[in-house]
């Protein structure tokens, strides 16, 4: 019985310590992200990130951080396969990111 108690306490302590650590880590990461903006590592104006899907270009820059599936995006690449694997061929959901050529009329 005693051993069970000791194990329980040890487990609880481990969980507590881990959660504190992960909180510190996420704060660090947030701070890092803040520090990054405005440096040369960024993508340029308004965090542009153009991907192509079925031959069309989409700027998913502002959406990257909001995507429920995480930041899976590779800017400048053809992501048709990746998109299709998850979302099929329904392009409606990304219609709003379509880059419409301003010169095309």
Binder among 67, 71, 76, 90 for ligand HEM (CB under 6 A)? 67
Q: How far is the CB of 40 from ligand HEM (least distance, A)?
A: 26
68 touches ligand HEM (CB under 6 A): yes
List the one residue out of 28, 86, 91, 24 whose CA is nearest residue 54: 91
Contacts of 50 (CB under 8 A, 6+ apart): 57, 58, 59, 61, 75, 76, 99
49 touches ligand HEM (CB under 6 A): no
Q: How far is the CB of 83 from ligand HEM (least distance, A)?
A: 4
């Amino acid at each position: 019985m005693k051993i069970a108690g000791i194990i329980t306490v040890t487990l609880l302590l481990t969980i507590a310590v881990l959660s504190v650590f992960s909180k510190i880590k996420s704060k660090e990461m947030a701070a890092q992200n803040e520090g990054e903006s405005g440096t040369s590592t960024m993508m340029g104006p308004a965090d542009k990130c153009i991907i192509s899907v079925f031959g069309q270009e989409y700027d998913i820059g502002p959406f990257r951080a909001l995507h429920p599936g995480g930041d899976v995006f590779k800017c400048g690449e053809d992501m048709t396969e990746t998109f299709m694997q998850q979302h099929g061929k329904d392009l409606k959901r990304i219609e709003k990111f379509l880059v419409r050529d301003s010169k095309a009329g």
